[in-house]
Amino acid sequence: MRVRNALASIAMLAASACGDPLPPLDASAPRDASVSAPVCATNRNDEIRLKLAPQCEACHGARAGRPFFENLAAFEDLLVYNPAFVVRGDPDRSPLVAMLEGRATGAYRQMPLGGDPFATRASRGETRVSMDELREWIRALPPPDPSRQGPDPAAITTRRLSADEAINALAIALGQPANSGVPPLLALDGPQPLSPDSPAGVDYQDTLRRDTYLMLGGPSYLAQRRAEPTWSPGSLLTFSQLAQGMCSRAAAMNNAQLFKFAMASERLPMAEANVRRNIAYLYERFLHEPAPMTAVDALFTRVYQPAESTNTRVAWTQVCVALARDPLFITF
Amino acid sequence: MQNMVDSTRRFRALSPALAMLPTLLLVAGCPGSMPVDDGGVGDDGAVARCEQDAGAEAAAPAVAAPLSAGRVLRRVNLALRRRPTNDAESEALARAATDADRERVIESAIDEGLRSTDFYQTMVDFGHEWMRNGRFVVGAQGDGYWGNMSTHMAQCGAMTAHPGGWYILGENNARGRNACSDQDAMGMPAPARLRTVQPWWDPSTTITLVGDAALEVATVTDAMGRTQDCGVAQEGYFNMVNAAGCGCGPNAAWCFPGAGLNPDQPMKSQKRDVWDEPARMVAHLAWHDRALSDLVLGNYTVANNRVRAWYLRFGRQTGLYNARLDGNATWFRPEMGSAPRDPLHMTPADPEAWRELVVEELAPQLLSLSNGARSADPTRTFAWDPRRESGPAPGLPAAGVFTMPGTNSTFSRERPRAARFLEIFSCREFNPPPPEQHFPEVGPDLARTGPCMHCHTLMDPVAIAFRRWIFMGYYVQRSYLADLGNLEVPQDLYTPARRYPNSGWFGAGADRWRLNWLPGTTMTPSTAEEITRNTGALFMDTIPPEYTIFGQHTDGTMGPLAFGKVLVSSGEFDRCAVRRLYERFVGRRLDPGSEARYIEALAQRFVTGGRLARPFVRSLMTSAEFRRGF
């Protein structure tokens, strides 16, 4: 009883909040639990969307090939204001109406695809909206909202670096020539892994390096394996190991690109000013942004200084690796 | 440190997988990681900071700040050249004193990048990603053998009488001779026939053909008294062989220098090249400022000498225009003509150059419908209805990647071809239907019944157009267009007593066609009576004009060209192309649910610009969207 009262209260709240709650479906008709919850329409189009949803959104919801019912924007932009489906003001010329009535020509003769067309179900009272109401809605359809034209301002605007880009980024930061071309990564010297698409004649037996390339995220188009779209634990670990190898080698070889303002042999505390200046230089070299003092300080005190007690090669390797693993380095 | 915290915060907004990086680095214990706690577990280090960051992230505004000039320049170079800014470019930016100067540096980087061969190579990579065809497999079997319809040759050893000469592989044992050593089957001296030719694979040199390879005959009479065309490859093991007594033809065009036994597809192998062909076409269109819609409407491709040789052999197998093909002495000479080529092979005589080719020139069964001129004119049309015709079709309209060997091999049957091409060119996704959705009971027509109709309603009308390309052969399967040219489907195909002589057709799928191509269904719009009258009606590959795809009727053109036209006229191609380009060059996927109008606006801009990739990419890279931070 307590549960029933609680549900009733929720229903009342929903009704009062929405003003015009959706009419209930016929009790004997199949119901979609996801749309039985109280919902509020923001305008007339939204109201129609919500009323059509029980029959439509299973196939046309989010991530569907035709996501008409993903949200109001999708409903309006893909369906309502798409003349391939709705002719504003003219329901008789609107293919959507023909499909709902089961009299469309072409591939999609009716909607829903299976069972009785929507209009037949509506005539039996199994839908939340009648065909008459839909026709009237199309007759009175307002023009589209002109404000929604551009890109989604909240969308994420970056991506991970591809395997090629990540390797090339390391190579350029360390003063090596970048690899480019098709297929990528043909270099036989150095730690660059080969793409599985690389010509077998170059390095036929080197499966370890090819596997490493795939672990970095691939792709192998020959094998129809697409590039990994996001960093995964495996690809990140592989990249970390690659960066450690390349940085360690560059530090050991006294790479001139790594030591512009400090010498590899300089020791603290005498070398602190040079070390800090070189860290700032490396920061900009790796991340393509001027180094903030806070970042230089953190790299010096938390990365370089502790490792320098082992030796300077380790310390510079750690700085290099820290920069290579910076989010700004491994993203686009 | 604040910057690092900011970076980490921004980073966490990217994706769950990206956001794992700091944690992963901690778990891995990698020294030097930025977010490492300096006080150990329990101190106010990483964990506490993470909590603070999480709170800060929740309160952060969603709209990101624009990138700095250095980051924009890096993004430009990554997008166009697949590498970040190099030292010279960084120095140029550092020398720029004002914002306007920095903008000029960035604009210059965009323009130089788009003009560079790096851009061509980036577009080849993008082409592979977009076209999705994998390695060439023969039919659905995926073996490493290579049905290239050529007699394969090997070279005589250094210690033989004809070092470096080319002989037909197998001649030295199967045919009982040792031509390289001038010996007959008994080991007795028998001077081998020799012929010097300019070989098609390297016309800047001459080679010596040895033994049978040097024969210059067009036909031979076999033991059964039948005349055999020496230009047609017959059965073989991994090695196609022409009839005994045949040679390699003009410029060794009927032969291939090497065996087809390498499954790994090394560089400069024909098998790899046909995998590369669709992606090269994407890059070619971008590089030469051609409409990207030529991918589905064009009667031309790009091909180096090996791909040209493949088309020539494909064409020669059909028996159409043999004399014209055998008399063509220029197809392998890159210095002839002025066909646009790829920017990586600019030496005139380089046989590796990917040059434009109207495919009908070498494969006459792939109709240009333009008197041999390069064309992507959507009014090109050709009707062929085997329900009303008799005999094999004279050709199939060429339609860009739809009639390339690489795609037709990887997507090896009509429905997978339809599904993949719908995914590739209309950005469709085929997912299983929702479990709660009711469908009528499954019947013979998958486009009209059962849960299958969820996908097949769209897929099957398209699949009609892709049924003619088959793979046939007793051991190594070769590409054919069924019931076309001299490959007429036998009228007694399904007569039980004739199964053995028709077994090649059953190897190619005749049992599957009988089971799956049911008369009167959406995908097989021929009646049983029509198929009885002409078995070729099985291969009815004209999408009936009464069908609609994307709400559009086709124009009755035979084969996949009709699908290409609908893709373009419906706008599906343009919307999908701009989504693919945007994802590649701006770095994120557009959401068709929330950004449909933006996609439409981009598509309009793309169409207005002639569907050219380069100016469209440039417009993306100079947009504010390209410069948004995380």
Mean pLDDT of the residues in chain B: 87
pLDDT tens digit sequence for A25-70: 544 444 444 444 456 888 999 999 999 999 999 889 887 888 999 9
Residue B435 and residue B465: Cα distance in Å, rounded?
31
DSSP, res B197:
E
Among chain A residues, CA nearest to B11: A327
Q: Measured between CB atoms, does A180 come within 8 Å of chain B?
A: yes
Residue B231 and residue A112: Cα distance in Å, rounded?
55
Identity of the residue in A148, A219, A237 whose CB atom sits nearest the CB atom of B597: A148
Among chain A residues, CA nearest to B31: A318
pLDDT category, B30, cuts 50, 70, 90? very low
Q: What average pLDDT does this structure show over B177-190?
A: 86
Residue B4 pLDDT > 60, yes or no? no
User: Minimum mean pLDDT among A213-222, B155-164, B333-342: which range?
Assistant: A213-222
Residue B526 and residue B544: Cα distance in Å, rounded?
10
Q: Which of B480, B479, B420, B405 is nearest to B135 (CA)?
A: B405
Q: Measured between CB atoms, does A289 come within 8 Å of chain B?
A: yes
Residue A310: helix, strand or coil by DSSP? Answer: coil
Q: Which amino acid is at B177?
A: R
Among chain B residues, CA nearest to A294: B1
Query: Are B593 and A62 in contact (CB < 8 Å)?
Result: yes
Residue B43 pLDDT > 70, yes or no? no
Q: What is the DSSP string of B554-577?
A: ----BTHHHHHHHHHHTSHHHHHH
Residue A228 and residue A67: Cα distance in Å, rounded?
25
**How much is the pLDDT for A64?**
84
Residue A278 and residue A299: Cα distance in Å, rounded?
11
CB contact burial A187-220 (16+ within 10 A = b; e otherwise): beeebbbbbbbbbbeeeeeeeebbebbbbbbbbb
pLDDT higher at B186 or B460 = B460
Query: Are A151 and B433 in contact (CB < 8 Å)?
Result: no
pTM above 0.90, yes or no: no
Residue B537 and residue B263: Cα distance in Å, rounded?
36
Rg (CA), chain B: 29
**How much is the pLDDT for B523?**
97
Among chain B residues, CA nearest to A85: B551
Q: How far apart are the first and last CA of chain A?
A: 57
Determine the distance in angstroms separating the CA of B185 from the nearest CA of chain A, rounded to an integer. 36
> Can you name the residues that pair with B471 across neighbouring β-strands?
B479
pLDDT category, B22, cuts 50, 70, 90? very low
Determine the distance in angstroms separating the CA of A275 from the nearest CA of chain B, rounded to an integer. 16
Helices (H), A61-218: 72-74, 95-100, 118-123, 131-139, 163-173, 207-215
Residue B173 pLDDT > 70, yes or no? no
**Length of chain A as a residue count:** 332
DSSP, res A84:
T
Domain boundaries along the sequence of chain B: 2-59, 151-257, 270-565, 571-627
pLDDT tens digit sequence for B196-228: 999 999 999 999 999 999 999 999 998 899 999
- 3-state SS of chain B: helix, strand, coil percent to 5? 40, 10, 50
**How much is the pLDDT for A198?**
55
Strand ranges in B151-217 using DSSP code E only, listed in sequence order: 151-155, 166-168, 194-197, 207-210
Collect contacts of B354-357 with beta carbons under 8 A, ≥24 apart: B354/B280, B354/B284, B354/B302, B354/B303, B354/B304, B354/B307, B355/B302, B355/B303, B355/B304, B356/B284, B356/B300, B356/B301, B356/B302, B357/B300, B357/B301, B357/B302, B357/B303, B357/B308, B357/B311
Kindly state the helix (H) or strand (E) to which residue B255 belongs, with its residue range.
strand B255-257
Looking at beta carbons, which residues of chain A come within 8 Å of B30? 240, 244, 321, 325
